[in-house]
Structure 1
Amino acid sequence: MDKLITQDMRILITGSNGFLGHKLIEKLANKPRVSVLGISKSENRNPDLPADNFQQIDIAELDALTGILESFKPSHIIHTAAITSVESCENNPENCELVNVLTTEIIAQYCKKQGCHLTFISTDFVFDGHNGPYREDDATNPCNAYGRSKLEAELRIIQSGCRHAILRTILVYGVIADKNRSNIVLWAKNKLSAGESISVVDDQWRMPTWVDDLADACLLSVDKNGQGIFHISGNQLFSILEFVRQVAQFWALDTKLITAISAEAIGQADNRPPKTGFILTKSRQELDFQPTTVLRSFEIIEQQLETYG
């Protein structure tokens, strides 16, 4: 992806302390034609983001968000900040609406007014999981508040008329410099390495997405000024149990420590889609997105773990 970003750009990244935000900053570091501003609610934790390129704000404070937009004057925005916890969105719908929908609408309206391009991160949870894998134009039907908020944010972006790429993604995994950021791969690897037993759902199916691939898709969207909805994920469908077993097998960990459990047993039968997955034809053709195999991503993750220390 080194050849990406071939023109002068001012890129604003919301959620720069987040999992994807970290990876985007890492990939954009030292690109001579790019000015980057990262914003996040907490203090800067990104080693690749200089202090002068970071501002600490709560994007739920809409006036502060508008002030940042007007002062930085981005040519492109990658909007990764969101409340992604299904339970948090269910328990506090007002905050979910504010952070996931209203902030997105403010950003989209700014992009329309100023001619700025918006890349927005959405989710497979806009689907109910009864007819996966899905194309971009398949009917949506979210089964939880998180999915509903992301779908509503998508609609607000489209209604704004701004130039935009909506990237839906699935079960993002990988490694970044911030050791406090976990995900299903690191969780399973760390638990099993410690000899701890884990229970994993065996009746939900996903196409897990390597965070490096998702970051590359964002930068492809920026470089190509992508327009419309794109599905971004890996191209291998696993049950979540199967995926965790892949983790155990790659790192030579004891699969006997893994116990299968049903979604119903942990209260996820109704508020999680049973089977998603994406058909990637459009993102391959229009963005030149090429997903990495799970095995190859694990090989690179192993190298990255040594690099990050």
Structure 2
Amino acid sequence: MKTILITGSNGLLGQKITERLLATGQFNWVATSKGANRYPVTEGYTYAEMDILDPENVKAVIEQYQPDAIIHTAAMTNVDTAEEQQELAHRLNVEAVQTLIELSENHNIQLIHLSTDFIFDGAEGPYDELAAPNPLSYYGRTKLEAEEVIKNSKCKWAILRTILVYGISSDMSRSNIVLWAKGALEKGTPIKVVNDQWRMPTLAEDLADCCLLAVEHDAQGVYNASGKDFMSVAELVHRVADYWKLDKSTITEVSSSTLSQDARRPARTGFILDKAIADLGYQPRSFEEGLALLDQQVLTR
């Protein structure tokens, strides 16, 4: 049985991978993150504290547990924070990847790396895996640089590009667009949402499945791994309101040019998913199916 090491296991995707592995018992795994384990179930796997900005710490952990694959979910993903804190963003999104590459080369480890639609400028989405990148933000540039470093390495690698991940984590420490919209609409808080940006929102459970499929199939190369429904951000919020039968009168649609955001966003991304579906057996749920799963999880908390 293969052993997987997960970075960023306290994050939403990291927790969903742990959840999936606990349900299936398909692999052995070591969950790693900075600080204590925040996942409520601690039996059935190993947790190790690991700071991806400390190469010696990373080396010690990887050499101790000798994984067959690393699923690298840890990153700075806040686009505006990356614009403001560029040095830290580069350390987290590029230099940490270089550390993992070196160890993966030395120990014959498959590296599964998470990337983003923000490597594109949004002029011609949806994109396939061969589309030419042109990031608009510093975040996008760091993620593209990490991709290039991986592609030029000698390790076994797969890059999974994703879009606007949503879901519920155990400690709810971070929000995402679906939970933000649901919470604001339930409180009747006026919200502004952009109607000139288009995405394919990704259920965290689906992305976790794709990560494990990449390990199972010993995947190599770039794969698009997003949701399958293409919509504007405004439509996304309206669909959240419709699903939970919430009042939509507090929603104001605006142009992205009216918002004061540090980082530029691509207008129209989205992905063509044929490769991941054909090669890996990836089967993302519809947006409403994703909302139904969230609804079920909210009721059981």
Q: TM-score range by the shorter chain?
A: over 0.9
**Separation in structure 1 between the aligned mates of residue 120 and residue 135 of structure 2, nearest angstrom:** 5
Output the amino acid matched with 1:218: C
1:122 match: secondary structure: strand
Q: Does the 8 A contact of 1:217 with 1:289 survive in 2?
A: yes
Indicate if the aligned counterparts of 1:206 and 1:276 stay in contact, CA closer than 8 A. yes
1:198 matched to 2:191: yes
- Equivalent position SS for 1:160: coil
Residues 241, 116 of structure 1: alpha-carbon distance in 2 compared, 3 angstrom cutoff: same
Q: How does 1:161-200 map to 2 (within 5 A)?
A: 161-200=154-193
Q: What residue in structure 2 maps to residue 65 of structure 1?
A: 58
- Residue pair 1:29, 1:48 contacting (<8 A) in 2 also: no
AA aligned opposite 1:47:
P
Do structure 1's residue 230 and structure 2's residue 244 form an aligned pair? Answer: no
- What does 1:240-251 align with in structure 2 at a 5 Å threshold? 240-251=233-244
Q: Does 1:13 align with 2:6?
A: yes
- Residue of structure 1 equivalent to 2:74: 81
**Can you list the C-alpha shifts for 1:230-268, whole angstroms capped at 9, x where unaligned?**
001112111100001000000000011111121111135
- Structure 2 unaligned segments of length 5 or more: list them: none
Deviates more, 1:54-63 or 1:114-123: 54-63
In 2, distance between residues paired with 1:260 and 1:33? 45
Matches within 5 A, 1:1-309: 8-29=1-22, 31-32=24-25, 34-50=27-43, 53-268=46-261, 271-307=264-300, 309=301
Distance 2:42 2:215 in 1: 19
**Aligned in 2, Cα 1:264/1:270: closer, same or farther, shift over 3 Å?**
farther
Structure 1 residue 32, shift from structure 2 partner: 4.3
Report the secondary structure of 1:29's partner residue. Answer: helix
2:98 aligned partner, one-letter code: E
Contact 2:196–2:255 under 8 Å retained in 1: yes
Aligned-partner Cα distance in 2 for 1:269–1:58: 27
Write the letter of the residue equivalent to 2:82: C
Q: Distance in 2 between matches of 1:49 and 1:150?
A: 31
CA gap 1:282/1:86 in 2 versus in 1, 3 angstroms = same
CA distance in 1, matches of 2:10, 2:233: 26
**Cα distance change on mapping 1:203 and 1:229 into 2, 3 Å:** same
Shift of residue 122 of structure 1?
0.3
1-structure distance, mates of 2:77, 2:243:
28
In structure 2, what is the Cα distance between the partners aligned to 1:244 and 1:280?
23
Aligned partner letter, 1:186: L
Structure 1 pair 93–36 and aligned structure 2 pair: CA distance change class (3 A): same
Q: Percent identity?
A: 43
Q: Distance in 2 between matches of 1:33 and 1:281?
A: 25
The secondary structure found in structure 2 opposite 1:165 is strand
Counterpart of 1:224, as a letter, is H
10-19 or 58-67, which moves further after superposition?
58-67
Is the contact made by 1:197 and 1:258 (CA closer than 8 Å) also made in structure 2?
yes
Deviating above 4 A after TM superposition, structure 1's stretches of 4 or more consecutive aligned residues are 30-33
Report the Cα distance in structure 1 between the residues aligned to 2:25 and 2:180, rounded to whole angstroms. 36
Q: TM-score under structure 1 normalisation?
A: 0.94
Q: CA shift at 1:57, angstroms?
A: 2.6
Aligned letter for 1:291? P
Code of the residue aligned with 1:9 in structure 2: it is K
1:14 shift after superposition: 0.3
Larger CA deviation: 137-146 vs 85-94:
85-94
Count of equivalent residues: 301
Query: RMSD of the alignment, in Å?
Result: 1.6
